[in-house]
Every structure is written in C-alpha cells, then in structure tokens.
Amino acid sequence: MARLRDLSRIAAAVVLSFGLIGASISNATTPGFGTIVSAQHAHVGRTAASVGTTIFSGDSLDTEELGVLQVRAGAARLLLPAASRVAWGTEDGMAAATLKNGTAIFSTANAKAFVLRASNAVIRANGDGPTVGSVSLVNAKELRVSCSRGTLAISVDDDTKTVDEGMAYRVVLDPDSVADDNNAPPGEQKPPKKAGKNKFLMFVLFGGAALTGILLYYALESPAAP
C-alpha cells in the first residue's frame, strides 16, 4: 500500500507538471536524444537533473528515495518514480532505455517510439495506438509488468507474449526455476500452457493492479496522444 501511495503522489505531480510546462518544452525527435520535462531529487550521471536538460545515448538516469524524473523523446515519455535507474540509449532507430533498478513507466503514441529493456526481456507497445505501461525489476529473473492503456509486447529471444489493457503480470524470466505450475503464489493465476519451449512465464496479478492502472493512465495520458 505504501508503494501505491507513493505512485499516487507521483501521478498527481506529473499531471500538474503537464499543465504547467508540458506544452512549452521543445522535444528532441532524433533517436537517442531526450529532454527532461520534470525532475526532483534525480540525476543525469552524477549531475543533478534539471528541466530542459538534453540527455544522450549512454547517459545514466536515476532518482533518489523521494525523487521523480520524467523524460520526453519524440512520441514517447518515460517516468522514473523513486529509487529507480535506467541507462538511456537507442535501438533499431528508436529511443530506448535499459532498466537497472526500480520501476520505469512509459507512454508511447506508436510502436516505434520507444523500447524498454529489463534483464533479458524487451518491452514495447504492441501497436500504433496510445500505450501506457509500467515495468518493475524485482531481480534479474523476475519482473512486474502492467498495462493501463493499449497493449504491450514482451519478448525474450523469439518468444513473445502480450499484456492487454488493464492487466498486470509477474514475469518469470527463468522458467526452469518454476518447478511446478500448480505452486503459483497466492493471488496469481497459472500461466497458459504453450507448445514448445517457453523462454519466460507470466502469472496474472490480482489486487492492486486495477488501482495502479488508473494511476498510470492519468499520470501519462497526455503524452500518449501528443
């Protein structure tokens, strides 16, 4: 519940920032470039992050325990809540980020606007409609992924699965660590059987997913349709 309260405060701050500065900030549209549109207790490398700063491929972005950082890159926005870190970059001509710690929340207007890596998984919008998603790195073998608008695609090598709007999943990146599908933790649904070798498994999360989805939607609704 403390995590949801923190996210609620972040969402409210982001919505206010959109109204105050979102329309006035010019955005870099070249892949690999981005512009910071809000920052509090956050850093680019070892330097304190500030509104208007341009970020480049290879930059490290992070937030402190009470921090928040938001970046715009063309038709995408990336929000880092407290205690999160990413490495900024490019991939296949798109703005990209690699999640190193914590949570990354992103919105896109099309499937080629942004891609997020977390451990050995690649997460992106599954279509050209507005999409809002959240990815939390639990450890190198586990993620929490939710989608509050549109559809996400998660890929590990040649195995791709989708996260529909309003859904949240625990994503296990090491299927061999799940000895028995019948032993899914409480509040989770067993993943569907699939022919062939699964590169990862997804368990439906219940409970806080609906509230989290609502907060994410209102936090990043504006940039999803710039």
Quick one: pLDDT band at residue 3, thresholds 50, 70, 90? low
Say which range, 56-60, 101-105, 215-219, has the weakest mean pLDDT: 215-219
pTM comes to 0.77
Quick one: pLDDT band at residue 6, thresholds 50, 70, 90? low
Give the pLDDT confidence of 129-162 residue by residue, as tens digits: 999 999 999 999 999 999 999 999 999 999 999 9
User: Quick one: average pLDDT of 196-203?
Assistant: 85
Q: Taking all residues of the chain, what is their mean pLDDT, rounded to a whole number?
A: 80
**Burial readout 73-94 (b: 16 or more C-beta within 10 A, e: otherwise):** bbbbbbbbbbebbbbbbbbeeb
Q: Across the strands, what pairs with 101? A: 85
